[in-house]
Amino acid sequence: MDIAFIGQHVWNGVMLGVIYAMVAVGFTLFFGVLDVIKFSHGDVLTLGSFVGLTTFLGLQRLGDMPALLQLGIVFLVSVASMAILGALIARFLILRLRSAPAFITLLITLMVGTVIRESIRLFYPNGSNPQPFPSLLPTQSWQLGGFTMRVDTLILVASGLGTILLVHLLINRTKLGLAIRAVAQDGETAQVMGINFRWIVLATFGIGSALAAMAGLMNGLYYSEVHFGNGTMLAVIGFSAAVIGGLGNIYGAILGGFLFAAIQIATVVALPWPSAYKDVVAFCMVIVLLAVRPTGLIGEKTSERV
């Protein structure tokens, strides 16, 4: 088999794995702190990409400016707005439903996601069709035999891995991260120790939603288009990745994201089936894996879930 062909797919799998891992880490943060499955996560991702697209179109009307500056503004506006949205969802919905049965919170977040998704479809101009996403990154590529290395993909992979590293450092090396881990371990004791439980929850949901916006923008830049339904499948994959790794464990979520991408790529490379079957095969493998190991690859530790 052609090594360049395999290498190309492996590199594409790394790109997908970064996106999946970022979505999965968001799910893990929500569950780790408040035992909540936030099913609007994927639609926040979609909204973040559309906010980025709208920001770019607005900048275009202001006149010429460097692509790097446009990219920075697009990311800043999208990530900041989704962080605020995530905090608002936590403040006015999640925290108010703490004493309610878990399925109520699940249903509410599912409906919030549906409202976001359908609002994009109905109110964004031509929102039911894919929207072209601007190429704000260098378009050059390096050719190594039959292997093509796109500069934009390299930048996106580096940015995604850097973002995941920053989340790791935030959780493990800062006072905010210490407070998040304390709340995840025992919220009531953390409050007795003087930690502001409400603000930690808002910060956690803001961080998770900011990660969703990052993933949505990276997905748009990689595929050069966004669609109102993009977040639905990415959310299912991201949640599956989080469960594979062990829901509540950040490192398990990262591992699950790359594992899911690896299964998809292996399906395309090794099996004589069209690439459209890669999701079916990947989800079948997830079913088998969870049947064998229901707690995931890295079982959740009750002493430290974030």
A 10 A CB-CB count for 184 gives 24
Give me the CATH number covering residue 164: 1.10.3470
pLDDT of residue 306: 47
Q: Report the domain count for the chain.
A: 1
- In whole angstroms, give the CA distance from residue 61 to residue 38: 36
Query: In the predicted model, what is the mean pLDDT of residues 55-76?
Result: 92
pLDDT of residue 302: 42
Does a structural domain hold residue 303?
no
Could you give the percent of the chain with pLDDT greater than 90? 72
pLDDT of residue 300: 55
pLDDT of residue 276: 76
Does a structural domain hold residue 168?
yes
Does a structural domain hold residue 230?
yes
- In whole angstroms, give the CA distance from residue 182 to residue 303: 10
List the domain range (segments joined by +) for residue 162.
Answer: 3-292
Q: How confident is the model at residue 5 (pLDDT cuts 50, 70, 90)?
A: confident
Does a structural domain hold residue 299?
no
pLDDT of residue 198: 94
| φ/ψ bin of 63: left (φ > 0), alpha (ψ from -120 to 50), beta (otherwise) | left
Does a structural domain hold residue 68?
yes
Does a structural domain hold residue 302?
no
Query: In the predicted model, what is the mean pLDDT of residues 14-18?
Result: 96
Does a structural domain hold residue 153?
yes
Q: Kindly give, in sequence order, each residue whose CB lies less than 8 Å from that of residue 174, ignoring residues fewer than 6 positions away.
A: none
A 10 A CB-CB count for 233 gives 11
pLDDT of residue 274: 67
Does a structural domain hold residue 306?
no
